[in-house]
Amino acid sequence: MSSGFFLTEKQVKCENCGGLIQIPLTTDSTVITCEFCRSVYEYNPEVHLVPKLRFEDEEKQTFEYALATGVLIGREGSSNFITIQSDLNPSLKQNICIRNPYVSRCPHLRIKMQDEISISSCGESKRVINKKKCTVEDCKSTNGTAVNDHMLKLGEPWMLKHGDRIVLAPNSQLPLAIGFEETVQNP
Ligand SMILES: [Zn+2]
């Protein structure tokens, strides 16, 4: 599955011809045809692509964190290896606290989310799907953040895609990798 072009919530760019397709305001499953090249896309407004973070703890156990809103990730010395706050606790500066001396405190990185509609290929069929555009940004951390092999520059938001690995403090003795995944949620 690969994600394609996006523009706004109401329009999407045709993958074949680049023409703008209007997304109908519907609650029912429908078929959308590009008026320029007659490409056909499926659209079910109930189907969403849900972004998730995947962590691995000291015992190599993995757990997931479904991203519903943006998130702040940083160090909290007294917590467990990884602690997830359900709400942003005002006494803590981050939603996800990590006990790792190379991760910055205030916080290390931020993930922002924005609604978008994009085209996804699923086997033979193509569909227009509701998803979240997720961008990761390093928050002036001491040891930096990389996405895959790309070291983020200061103030450079980086768009995340399925299968990416966000690495905190990549050049330290204890780099921490977080997987980014998008899964289809079909209620
Ligand atoms: Zn087209």
Question: For 23-55, how does the pLDDT look when each residue is reduced to its tens digit (9 = 90+)?
Answer: 888 888 999 999 999 999 999 988 889 999 998
Q: How far is the CA of 162 from the centre of ligand 1 (A)?
A: 25
- Mean pLDDT of the 79-83 span: 71
Residues with CB in 5 Å of ion ligand 1: 14, 16-17, 19, 34, 36-37, 39
Q: How far is the CA of 113 from the centre of ligand 1 (A)?
A: 28
Q: How far is the CA of 43 from the centre of ligand 1 (A)?
A: 15
Beta bridge partners of 128: 43, 119
Q: How far is the CA of 7 from the centre of ligand 1 (A)?
A: 15
The string of pLDDT tens digits covering residues 68-80 is 888 889 988 666 6
Between residues 153 and 62, the one the model is more confident about:
153
* pLDDT at residue 58 in the model: 74
Q: How far is the CA of 42 from the centre of ligand 1 (A)?
A: 14
For the chain, domain boundaries: 2-185
Mean of the per-residue pLDDT values for the chain?
A: 86
- Cα 98 to Cα 80: distance, rounded to the nearest angstrom: 7
Q: How far is the CA of 4 from the centre of ligand 1 (A)?
A: 13
Q: How far is the CA of 57 from the centre of ligand 1 (A)?
A: 46
In this predicted structure, the answer to whether residue 6 has a pLDDT above a threshold of 80 is: no
Alpha-carbon torsion angle 180, 117, 122, 52, nearest 10: 20
Residue 44 burial (CB count, 10 A): 17
Residue type for 143, please?
N
- Looking at domain 2-185, which CATH architecture does it have? Sandwich (2.60)
17-27: b or e for each residue (b if 16 or more CB lie within 10 Å)?
A: eeebbebeeee
40 exposure class (CB count in 10 Å sphere: 0-12, 13-18, 19+): exposed
Q: How far is the CA of 31 from the centre of ligand 1 (A)?
A: 14
* pLDDT at residue 116 in the model: 87
- Cα 137 to Cα 145: distance, rounded to the nearest angstrom: 8
Question: With pLDDT > 70 as the criterion, what percentage of the chain qualifies?
Answer: 87
The string of pLDDT tens digits covering residues 137-182 is 999 999 999 999 999 998 889 999 999 999 999 999 999 999 999 9
Alpha-carbon radius of gyration of the chain: 19
DSSP class per residue in 24-41: P--SS-EEEE-TTT--EE
